[in-house]
Each structure stands twice: as structure tokens, then as C-alpha cells.
Amino acid sequence: MVIGFAALVTSVNMSFGQTKAEQVDKLLNLYHEYGKFNGSALVVDKGEVVYNKGLGMANMEWEIPNQPDTKHRLGSITKQFTAMLILQLAAEDQLDLHAPISDYLPEYPNGHDPKITTHHLLTHTSGIPNYTSFPGFFKDESRNPYTPDEFVKKFEDKDLDFAPGEKFSYSNSGYFLLGVIIEKVSGKSYETMLHEKIFTPLNMNDSGYDHHGEILKNRATGYQKRGNSYANSAYLDMSIPYAAGSLYSTVEDLHVWDQALYTNKLLPKEYMELYFKPYVSAFGNNHYAYGWAVGKEVIGNSTDSIYAISHGGGINGFNTLISRSPSDKSLVVLLNNTGGAPLNQMNQSIRGILYDKTYDLPKKSVAYDVLGVIQSEGLEAGTAHYNKIKDGDQYDLNENEMNQIGYQLMGEEKNKEALEVFKWNVEAFPKSSNAYDSYGEAFMKLGQNDQAIENYKKSIELNPGNQNGIDMLKKLGVDAAELSKKVVVPDEILESYVGKYEIQPGFILAITKEGSQMKGQATGQMMVDIFPKSNNVFYLKVVDAQITFNQDENGNIESLTLLQGGQEMTGKKLKE
């Protein structure tokens, strides 16, 4: 789970004299200029397209620009198409949404619970563990081709995380199984069904299942950020995401898709209502329907919100977002081919523009600016530049970005420069375990082991789950057992922490308890285990983050404080 909500923005009022299209254009060009968005975007205001452009490069090697017809991998936006196919089969009486999946997949093991239904798969309530969260999955499996039946064996025998229908937990495994069900019931491939039942009837001629080996006109290349530059994203065999994330499309085709969803071209009215019905509380006050998240979206930086039907996606080198508001037929589609763009933040600002509210502009990155100066002019000039801009209103000092450029400098054998960058990061973010871990690594690389030990110890003190720090101390001949002792918190204290905490409007961190194990799930993200460092301070092992539970004057839990990426954010406990 990556809980990311850094305030990388500066607030502005509506730009009087500028049209909405001009404001959106300025906003997105700033995101592109600051290295935060590279892709295609389409915005619809009250049914009218006001913005439809590409920014940056679809292919950096050949300097081919992104356009409205550039084909991007969609990632999990695929799920809404998979759900549509399932509902079409149900509407044709070929499938019962509430029948056990064993009716359609008789070979799928159901010894642990025979009551998993397609409804459970559609709503992420099946309890089937998510294969992309398996340890070592991306390293060991993601490059290998599989048939759907072969890949199902990777998760079919694993224990359920919970009883079907008991709770929500996002699972790509469930949507993978839906693709297999579509094939078994129809007798046709998932890809064939997509074209026959959706893409061809709607003339979505620039959408399809992405096969790496095929020559595909206008396909964007996926990249990942490397400091202030880019690298090609890691290879992923597209048989792996399958019905959970294998599709490509364009912003224009997704506009066609959006328009069709206001009609009954694809489904009878009663099934369209099922398609968008909020079934399960998934992300705080928002809910999950069939392949869609439904609920309120904040407008700009106001307290106002609008009901939206949306979904995001992330896949090697790409991240994506589609957000529809049926009340006024507005639409935001953002397809980015450099991964990691702050699309929710961008969407919120675009909504601010559409509804004449104040909204946020992005800030420049301190890290990337400083890296360029160090590389071109040396460390002394870089230090002077860092001190000049680090507190500037137009700049954002981000712990993760500073960490990235430190490692980039180490990769260039600029170890003294890297050490200085990591030092700045520790000074700016003294509560960050990861900052101290990186600082320790730089000392270790320079042979300054005493300083390395000191910083690794500090890192583990801040986050006892830092296994890398423990391993490095062992390598340096230090016993780290005392630094990572297990802490046991009384059950009644753990129970008092259970609940939902609003970090930001529409962004909730849900804390649950299973036995003595505490768990956390942020809006739109996976459920993860959290571990006690003390009675009221907990940490995550999957990412460097810490949660502190806060009491009011009467001793009741009133809020929690999340520390991640050097930033602290407090969320009030919501009343059930």
C-alpha cells in the first residue's frame, strides 16, 4: 500500500477572463512542465468537450508526441469492461450473478468455501487473495506467459483472506477469474467477447487487448521516472493482467464509452442500474459497484463535492483515470505513460475549474532542480541552489524525490554528492526511517561504517519493520535483535483503534482487527497489516509509514496521525 497525498500544489482562484478550456490547458501544461504528467487528456463540461490534447512524448526515443488518438495501457480501468461482459451474459440468462462460481468453473477448488459468486468477484468481496500482492510476484512471475487456466493455478489453492461477502479487499485475482468465467460460459476468448459485445458495436476502433508482440499503430511506450529523466518501464507479459488490467484505449474512445453508458445500447435499463449500484463500502464514504468506484469527489480545494463514477489504473509505465459525473454529464479522462502521475490531484483541480471553485496548481520539484545543478555545475553550486529554493513557495521538497536523486547520484559514482543529498533529506524529514536508511547506505558505501551503523540504528528505531536496516547491521557485525523486539498491546486498547479516519475529504484510512492483528486500508488501496511499536504507535512493513493513534482529554481515540514520505497528516475518527 502506498498512501500518497503529498501537498505538491499551490492554491489559486478562478482565472477571470480565461475560459475553462484555457484554464485546463494551463493547469495540465504546468503538470507536464514540472515532470508530473506525460500523456493524453480529455475533459467534458456539461456534455461538451472542452479539452482534448496530448502532452509530452508517446515515444521518447523517436520524439513522437502524445495525441488524443494515442493508445495507452489502461490497467485497472479494464475492470469496468470485464464487468460489462459479465452483466451482458447475465442479461442473456447465460449466467447467474449469485450462483456459486463452481457452476461455471467446476475445476476451481471450492473446499475452503463453496459460496463464492460472480457478485463477490465483481465487488472485491470474495476473500480470494490478490495475486499482485504475493511476495516476489513481479520479480518471479510477471515476465512469464500463461494461459488463463494455467495462471489460475497460481492462486486457486490459497486460503481465503476472509469469508465471501464479509468485507471489501481489492483483488485482481477476482477479476482474472471473471475473465475465465466469460470464456467458459461464452465458448469464446475474453478478447473476442470484448470486440463482439463492446468495441465493435460502439465503434471503439482504437481499443483492444494489448499484446506485446503485435504491431499496434499509435501505441505509447511506457516509461518510469529516474530522477529528472526517464527509463523504459519493466517488461510485463500481458497474459498476467488479463481481465483485470490488459486493455489499451485512447481518451477519445473512452469518451465514446462514456457516452454509451448513458444509453441502453449495451445493457437493458435494469442491468445498467445494477452496473452502477453501490454494493459495498470500499473507500471510506465511497462504495464499489461492478468495476467502478461510486461516491463523492471533492471539487477543487473547496468543501463541495459531486457524485462521480470513476476508476483508476496502474500498470508498468502507465497510470490512468476516468471520472464521470452523471448529474451534468461531465467527464475527465487522464492517460499517463510515465507512471506515478498525481491523477487524483489533477482531477480534483480540473473539477475546480469546471465548477468555478478555487483549485490547486502544481509546484516545481526541489529534488529534480537540484539534481540538474549538481550534474552540470557540481556539489557546491547544487548546495547553494538547494538552500535557495528548498523553502520557496513555488517549490515542493519531497522526501521520496530527494531519496531518488540520491540513489541516482550513487549510480553515477557520485557518492559524496549522494551523501550530501541524503544528509539534506534526514535534516528535512527527521522522522523518516527511510531517509536514515539511505543515509546509512551512503556512509557504508564510502567505508564510514561507524556513521552507517548509527544511521541504520536510527532507521530501525523509527520503523522496527525495516528489514533492510536489520540485514545491513548484521552485515556490519551488529546484533539488531534488541532494536526489533515484538511489542504486545492489550486487546482492549487495540479494539479502541478500530474505525474509519478521514485523512482528507473522500480519503479514508480504515483500521480493522483480526484476532490480535491490526490492519489498515486506505481509499482505493490494498489492506495491509500494521504492527505496534508502542501502545499507540504502529508501523507498516510493506512501505515506510507510521500511524499514531491520538486520545482526547477524556482518553477516547479521536484521531490518528499518518507519517509517510516525511509528511504528517491527521485524520479524525468518523462516527459509525
If DSSP codes are grouped into helix, strand and coil, which group holds residue 265?
Answer: coil
- Number of Cβ within 10 Å of residue 125's Cβ equals 25
- Reference 528, options 161, 150, 45, 205; nearest CA is 161
* 119: phi then psi, degrees, rounded to nearest 5: -60, -45
Q: Specify whether the CB–CB gap between 126 and 244 falls below 8 A.
A: no
- Say if residue 2's pLDDT is above 60: no
Q: What would the CATH number be for the domain defined by 371-484?
A: 1.25.40.10
Tens-digit pLDDT profile for residues 468-514: 898 999 999 998 777 767 888 999 999 999 998 988 766 788 898 88
Is residue 399 within 8 Å of residue 565, measured between CB atoms?
yes
- The share of the chain scoring above pLDDT 70, in percent, equals 94
Fold adopted by 72-354: Beta-lactamase (3.40.710)
Nearest by Cα to 373 from 383, 363, 382: 382
At 59-92, the pLDDT tens digits run: 999 999 999 999 999 999 999 999 999 999 999 9
Angle between helical axes of 467-475 and 433-445 (0-180°, round to 10): 30
Least-confidence region, from 149-163, 338-352, 514-528:
514-528
Asked whether 503 and 475 are in contact (CB, 8 A), the reply is no
SS3 state of residue 443 = helix
Give the Cα separation of 416 and 419 in Å (integer).
Answer: 5
> How far is Cα 434 from Cα 210, in angstroms, rounded to an integer?
36
SS3 helix, strand, coil % of the chain, rounded to 5?
35, 25, 40
Locate 468 and state its grid cell: 533492510
Q: Would the pLDDT of 10 be above 70? A: no
> Cα 474 to the chain's mean position, in Å?
34
**What dotted CATH number matches 491-573?**
2.40.128.50
For 549-576, how does the pLDDT look when each residue is reduced to its tens digit (9 = 90+)? 999 988 999 999 998 877 888 999 998 6
pLDDT tens for 192-224 read 999 999 999 999 999 999 999 999 999 999 999
Q: How confident is the model at residue 8 (pLDDT cuts 50, 70, 90)?
A: very low
Q: Could you tell me where the beta strands, DSSP code E, fall in 211-367?
A: 223-226, 229-232, 247-249, 280-283, 286-288, 293-298, 305-315, 318-325, 330-336, 359-362, 364-365
43 grid coordinates: 475533459
- Give CA angle at 88 (87, 89), nearest 5°: 90
**Whether pLDDT at 26 is above 60:** yes
What pLDDT is recorded for position 504? 73
Q: Quick check: 541 and 460 in contact, CB under 8 A? A: no
Please provide the average confidence, as pLDDT, over all residues in the chain: 91
Q: Are 15 and 358 in contact (CB under 8 A)?
A: no
Lowest-confidence range among 14-28, 358-372, 416-430, 486-500? 14-28
**pLDDT per position as a tens digit, 419-472:** 999 999 999 999 999 999 999 999 999 999 999 999 999 999 888 888 889 899
What would the mean pLDDT of 109-125 be, rounded to a whole number?
83
Q: How far is CA 207 from CA 52, 199, 419, in A?
A: 17, 7, 47
What is the structure's pLDDT at 227? 76
Domain layout of the chain by residue ranges:
72-354, 371-484, 491-573
Beta partners for residue 10, in sequence order: 361
String of DSSP letters for 211-252: -TTS--TTBPPPEEEETTEEEEPPP--TTTTHHHH-EEE-HH
The model's pLDDT over 296-333, given as tens digits with 9 standing for 90+, comes to 999 998 889 999 999 999 999 999 999 999 999 999 99
Query: At 385, which amino acid appears?
Result: H
Arithmetic mean of pLDDT, 269-295: 90
> Apex CA 55: angle with CA 50 and CA 57, to 5°?
150
Report whether pLDDT(375) > 80.
Answer: yes
What was the pLDDT predicted at 17?
Answer: 65
